[in-house]
Amino acid sequence: MLRPIRRALLSVSDKTGLVDFARELSAKYGVELIATGGTKTALADAGLPVKDVRELTGFPEILDGRVKTLHPAIYAGLLAKRDKPEHLQTLLEHNLPEIDLVVCNLYPFEQTVAKPGVTEAEAIENIDIGGPCMIRAAAKNFDAVTVATDAVQYPRILKELEAYNGSVSRELRQRFAAAAFARIARYDVAITQYFAGKPDWPLTQHLAFDLSQPLRYGENPHQEAAFYFESGITARDKHPCVATAGQLHGKELSYNNILDLDSALNLAREFSEPAAVVVKHNNPCGAATAPALADAFARAWDGDPQSAFGGIIAFNQTVDDATAAALLSGERFVECVIAPDYAPAALDRLKGWKKNVRLLKTGPLSGPPHGLDYRRVDGGLLVQTRDVGAVDFTKWQTVTKRQPTPAELAALRFAWLVCKHVKSNAIVLAHGTQVVGVGAGQMSRVDSVEIAVKKAGGRVKGSVLASDAFFPFRDNVDRAAAAGVVAIAQPGGSQRDADSVAACDEHGLAMAFTGVRHFRH
């Protein structure tokens, strides 16, 4: 059923697009505009005919604006059923006008609490009371009332007003009502999370995510899937990540692409030097740093060219023309490339390379991933803080007779950062700042050592080894030493640590205990 819009109540903190929208409502469709505080001032300053909400309520804003719309004159006009004669008669008896459109986008609570150093008083003053009430009332009565909670909805309303001679469809009203309830839910989640705080875990975990895009399918073609981004993420200045990255080229992303892109980017951002990472099936098969990004890419790809075929590439710096040329050299096939940015010439090269390769731009990388880490299990949810900020090389302890050389120590530190992003049981072999072999996801740690050694081939000679967790038996050291490994970094903490240390001393290896484990299940 079509419903005309004759009267609109506007109360917004984000005034993006507001004046143009209101001008069209008023000038083209004769909609009466009623507004609160700053919204009314903005419309009046633009020369639009607008009434102050107090003209409707007969009551001024009080308590520094905390109370302005909480009044029967507002809620009767919103909640009255237009097809119920007794409701309309009540409005008539009390001289209360119908309100057909509510435009409200709430106080910026999420943006406020995201600011460094925000005080509790500032947070509290940005908890909207009247806004959510108006939105809920309008959404509840969507059969008659239209509610807009985001500027992106304005054009759709105007389009319907034009198509339906000043009215909007029930379908639109219902869709916008659903969006309104979702907006209030997200808002309440943000407030709940703020007051729940840390280190205490909230008794109830509320999550809010917005649909980014439906996906063709999930991990496998018979599974349906969609990608959601964290609600309010743009309020944190578009934290650079896969969820906020812009796609510049290529076909749509798949479920597995997104998982691999996230893994690759999170490893690449570990390094301050130019770095390149190659990920395949959610494990890095190549990673390297170098003074030039093109060299870092070449070394990363050469770490395991066989596995790199069809992989995901991540860079921590702008892709320049030389790096793009390196990508295009040889018979390479990659699914996706993600980087902070692309030089114009590099982007042109990559766009002309293959029509399906997906190119993503994150903007400048700024620190590690943020927020909590969630994992769904049947009937429950696991929540933990992210594995960030636990790398302190000054706390490493050499436990063998032989100290690692400066070059070996630098290589161990590099391998350790990579190892943290490999599925357990994780073993990483490195020469300098180049990964030459990875053993991932094995049930036995010595099997991971065997796989890494096999992947490294002849390059295992003189390499260093990083293990994400302690060695339960000395067989890991014996196998590594036999292959030519010269130094090892591992957390320590096993009841058989002494056996591993003794094995290193027998073989002349250096071993450092990191004191930190990096399981990645």
Determine which one of 51, 71, 87, 140 is catalytic.
140
Provide φ and ψ at 112, rounded to 5°.
-65, -50
Provide φ and ψ at 356, rounded to 5°.
-95, -15
Give catalytic status of residue 518 as yes or no.
Answer: no
Provide φ and ψ at 284, rounded to 5°.
-70, 125
Question: β-pairing, 372-377 with 380-385?
Answer: antiparallel
96-100-102-103 Cα dihedral, nearest 10 degrees? -130
What are the tokens at 94? 């009390």
Q: How many CA atoms within 13 Å lie on the side-chain side of 58?
A: 6
What are the tokens at 272? 């301050």
8 A C-beta contact, residue 336 and residue 247: no
CB atoms within 10 A of CB 506: 12
Give catalytic status of residue 94 as yes or no.
Answer: no
Determine which one of 87, 281, 351, 354 is catalytic.
281
Positive or negative: CA dihedral 55, 59, 62, 68: negative
Q: Which amino acid is at 129?
A: I
Query: Which residues, including other chains, have CB under 8 Å from residue 394's CB and lie 6 or more apart?
Result: none
3-state SS, residue 97: coil
Q: Give the Cα separation of 110 and 104 in Å (integer).
A: 16
3-state SS, residue 442: coil
Helix or strand run (H / E) with residue 211: strand 209-215
- Residues serving a catalytic function are 140, 281
